[in-house]
Chain A
Amino acid sequence: MSQNRLLAVLLGVLAALVLVVGGLSAVLLLGGKSEEGGGTTTSGGAGGAGGDAKGVLRIPGSDPVTLDPHIAGDATSAEYIVEIYSGLVTISPKLDIEMDLAEKVEISQDGKQYTFTLRADATFHSGRKVTATDIKYSIERASSKELQSPTAITYLGDIIGVREHFTGLAKDVKGVEVIDERHVRFTIDAPKPYFLAKLTYPTAFVVDKTQIEGNPRNWSRKPNATGPYKLAEWRLGERIVLEANAKFYLGAPKLKEATYLLAGGSALTRFENNELDVASIYVNDIDRARDTKSDLNKVYKAWPQFSIAYIAFNTSVPPFDDPAVRRAMGMAIDRKRVAEITFKNMLQPANGILMPQMPGYTPEDKTLPYNLDAAKAELAKSKYAGKMPPIQITEVGAGAEAAIDTQAFLELWKQIGLNISIRQTDFATFLADQDAGRLQAFNAVWIMDYPDPEDILDVKFHSGSPLNDVDYKNPEVDKLLDAARIEANPARRLEIYRQAEKKILDDAAWLPLYFSQAHVVVKDGVKNWFEPPMVVPRLRFIELAR
């Protein structure tokens, strides 16, 4: 009996061990195999501790939502897309609109017709020539009813016929005509000076009809496109490898390969461990980066970005339907001190709505001046004086406490007699509430899509704009914005935008808080690295010297 039982026990233990060991060896076998498989296709981008990857630029990244340029609406996806694809026009590192697939454009007298001449040497990665038909196909695909691109109307909606095509009323886009193989004409609904800027966005990029029709579901995993880089590898969550397109029409890029490492924890730690060539610096490490005695300081640089953080007031709900309350809150915040103390000046206090480098930007402070007494006086003028309804500001967050700058603002507002509460939600809830107009006031960030004041002043503050999420209506501002849309003289146009900006700031529909900055460290051997204020093609301007 005891013998039998012992035998059974031993067998059981053996079975358990077999289970575990079997699993392990399966792991080892398969793991080993996939390792071999991986070894042949990669060129050692990941690198072990201290291993330098020669000729390969190693950048931290994350998975793009999609590599289909026509449906991408986020900056992460755009970062890869602008390297792989290209369009008729592009944005240079200096933010000028430059010719790309087109070698020249002729604009008609009335400013409504754009005739592009394509480069004779422009080809897809496969070697096929880019023709005017490809341009027409791409615009029609981007604005098709089937694709439901979230960006089509914003970027292509000015072209005659795009809206009809998008809603399924028209089979093609009337405003895009193929003249001959190398000439294509765009007709827009009104003379709009920012139209070319919109065409630099991925929604207007060129795609390969043959490839898409041959593999409609998965083509964008290995796109045949026209940009300076080809997608050589995309391992979800692990890495993306871009390889130089030697036949690129503007010349073969000097940087042969860029590997975006999508996993791997803290980028700065990996930078210091020589696993990455570039990394961002956050507030915990900024003192070290700024310390002139540290190694990081030698490779550290800050770059302004086209994005602004702000508090938005829903101008149709009490008490924010009264401009006096909004203005009072604006006068009570000291953004310079808050930026210095809570963010160690990693963000630049906003002096208006338009950020530095943006056409129309002026360096003087256009925000309501910080003055607690004036704020109190403003509040006393309000129709809500003495009977202030409860105020709640919503922000995205999950901590037990509000963002540190919001806490500082709460203290300042207390000094003018306003007791304001903070509500934190997750991102999805925040968006749902914001879209439904349920938020009384909220913390948000706007990132520019193209370097034109229209992309923020018109898009966020025109009473007819779907993105005007604060229900702001000022007929005078609308009039200015309408005029700027079609003003052909660039200087006069910017002047109109400046006037609109001033009025919006005086109305305090937004409390602009800070302009963001990119704080990065870059390894010595990486030449010409730059952090553009918005997503622009940049890899082909970079060189590796090691």
Chain B
Amino acid sequence: MGAYVVRRLLWLPVVLFFVSFGTFTLARFGPGDPVSVTAGQVRDPEVLAQIRRDRGLDSNVVVQYIRWLKKAVQGDFGESYLQKGFSVSELIFPRMWISAQLGIIALVIVFVIGIPMGLLAARFAGSWIDPAIIGTLLFLQAIPVLVIIPPLIWLFGLQLNWLPVGGWDGVFEIWWIAGVVAIPIPDPHLYIPLVAFTLPGFVSVARLVRVSALEVNLEDFVRTARSKGLSETAVQFRHVLPNSLLPLITVVGFALAGVIEGALFVETLLGINGIGRFTFEAVVSRDYDVILATTVIFSAAFVLMNLVAEIAYGFVDPRVRIGASRG
């Protein structure tokens, strides 16, 4: 197992090399460049050429890539073109953090609601309850965020005036009681994005749990448990539930990698200063170093989270444990 993990980790730099080199060359050979975008109305070819020279954009792609790579391995991802004087790390990590906070809270909510829904559907398989639950959740998944957000803003923001209609102000707002006792309550900016993030997510968790629970219900050990005379509740909670959750580990892996990528539409519609929107802006304005840094970080997160999921899975289910002795 340890050897397997090490081997996988050794592959990581190789994956990142190909991802970064691919992104780097694609961006350089694509039309347009960041200098022409940020120069505004200044279109004097000599001035633009001089800026390109100073930025090292005139040398060949391999030379440029090696220069980037040397700095990147030391953690220096370069400087933004769009936001002059700021390093790429200064720009992307705070935004990634905002996206990650939202993403993780949304993930927890999705699991906390999705799992019971799936178990409930499995428990009542064959009755109307099962298709009702799954159908409703599928319906929610089918509504694009672009459609769900405007009515939420209209209702809770403009009509009821309960919630702000966009922005981000941290996870907690502190309520002071008599200036002494601080009670943290979820910040009102959270609710609308969380609804938008979670509604489409329930169904995938619920369906996975449902299928898995249906299978587990047919297992020998469950029959044994029932034949021992255990109550149905005890059977469901002690035997079916834990075993139905196994496939979810894979989902968690992918989902955790996803949270740092942010979400373009939710962030744009609600004006949240997250990484999804920022990456999109960077692509449009050819902010090379930002595009590259986010691509590399997303890829690394994807590889690592999958590895974590595999290890966790192997830990939970010995049958899939790689390198485990089979006696």
Contact = CB atoms under 8 A, between A and B. Distances in A.
A49 B161 contact: yes
26 contacts: A6-B239, A8-B315, A12-B315, A13-B242, A15-B312, A16-B252, A20-B111, A24-B104, A28-B184, A35-B172, A65-B38, A65-B82, A74-B38, A148-B51, A220-B85, A238-B273, A263-B166, A275-B164, A428-B33, A428-B34, A428-B284, A428-B285, A431-B32, A446-B41, A447-B41, A449-B41
B286 A263 contact: no
Interface in A436-487: 446-447, 449, 466-467, 469
B111 A50 contact: no
Contact of B94 (A5, A20, A236): A236
Nearest to B268: A265
A31 B101 contact: yes
A39 interface: yes
A377 interface: no
B: interface residue count bin: 35 or more
Contacts of A429: 30-32
Contact of A32 (B40, B95, B171, B285): B171
Interface in B168-227: 168-174, 184, 187-188, 221, 224
B189 to A, nearest CB: 8
Interface in B24-43: 30-34, 36-43
Contacts of A433: 31
Nearest to B192: A265
Contact of B188 (A23, A39, A48): A48
B269 interface: yes
B124 interface: no
B84 interface: yes
Nearest to A6: B242
Given A2-B224, A8-B318, A16-B312, 16 more contacts: A11-B315, A15-B312, A19-B252, A20-B252, A27-B105, A31-B171, A34-B170, A46-B167, A150-B51, A236-B273, A263-B273, A272-B158, A273-B157, A273-B164, A429-B32, A435-B45
Nearest to B43: A467
Contacts of A68: 84-85
Nearest to B318: A8
Given A73-B41, A151-B42, A262 B51 contact: no
Contacts of B256: 23
Interface stretch (B60-68, B127-135, B243-251): B243-251
A501 interface: no
B11 interface: no
Contacts of B162: 49
A11 B108 contact: no
Interface in A14-38: 15-16, 19-21, 23-24, 27-28, 31-32, 34-36, 38
A243 interface: no
A404 interface: no
Contact of B37 (A35, A66, A427): A427
Contacts of B43: 434-435, 466-467, 469
A172 interface: no
Nearest to A432: B32
A237 interface: yes
B232 interface: no
Interface string A263-301: 111100110110100000000000000000000000000
Given A269-B166, A432-B31, A27 B100 contact: yes
Contact of A38 (B158, B170, B238, B318): B170
Nearest to B94: A236
Nearest to A146: B54
Contacts of A15: 312, 315-316
Of A35, A36, A220, A428, which is in contact with the most chain B CB atoms at under 10 Å from its CB? A428
B136 interface: no
A380 interface: no
A467 B43 CA distance: 6
A190 to B, nearest CB: 20
A265 B167 contact: yes
Contacts of B165: 264-266, 269-270, 273, 275
A35 B83 CA distance: 25
B86 interface: yes
B300 interface: no
B138 interface: no
A73 to B, nearest CB: 4
Contact of B86 (A34, A38, A236): A236
A378 B221 CA distance: 90
Contacts of B84: 65-66, 68, 71
A151 B44 CA distance: 10
Contact of B271 (A16, A264, A428): A264
B5 interface: no
Contact of B36 (A65, A221, A431): A431
A10 B308 CA distance: 18
B272 interface: yes
Interface in B291-327: 308, 312, 315-318
Interface of B: 30-34, 36-48, 50-51, 54, 82-86, 90-91, 94-95, 100-101, 104-105, 107-108, 111, 153, 157-158, 161-174, 184, 187-188, 221, 224, 238-239, 242-243, 245-246, 248-249, 252, 256, 268-273, 278, 284-286, 308, 312, 315-318
A66 B94 CA distance: 19
B270 A265 contact: yes
A494 B91 CA distance: 47
B164 A270 contact: yes
A154 interface: yes
A261 interface: yes
A236 B275 CA distance: 12
Given A31-B170, A270-B166, A13 B39 contact: no
Contacts of A264: 164-167, 270-271
B106 to A, nearest CB: 11
B42 to A, nearest CB: 4
Nearest to A152: B47
Interface in A162-217: 217
B41 A467 contact: yes
A39 B167 contact: no
A237 B273 contact: yes
B152 to A, nearest CB: 11
Contacts of A431: 32, 36-37
Of B168, B171, B318, which is in contact with the most chain A CB atoms at under 10 Å from its CB? B171
Nearest to B81: A65
A31 B41 CA distance: 41
Nearest to A455: B41
Contacts of A218: 85
Given A24-B105, A49-B157, A263-B273, A236 B83 contact: yes
B311 to A, nearest CB: 10
B164 A73 contact: no
Contact of B316 (A11, A36, A148): A11
Contacts of B107: 20
Contacts of B252: 16, 19-20
A153 interface: yes
Contacts of A28: 171-172, 184
A446 to B, nearest CB: 8
A11 B38 CA distance: 54
A426 interface: yes
Nearest to A28: B171
Contacts of B184: 28, 32
A211 to B, nearest CB: 14
A49 B33 contact: no
Nearest to B38: A65
B166 A148 contact: no
Contacts of A273: 157-158, 161, 164-165
Of all A-B residue pairs in the complex, the 3 with the closest CB atoms, nearest first, are A428-B32, A12-B316, A265-B166
Contacts of B90: 236
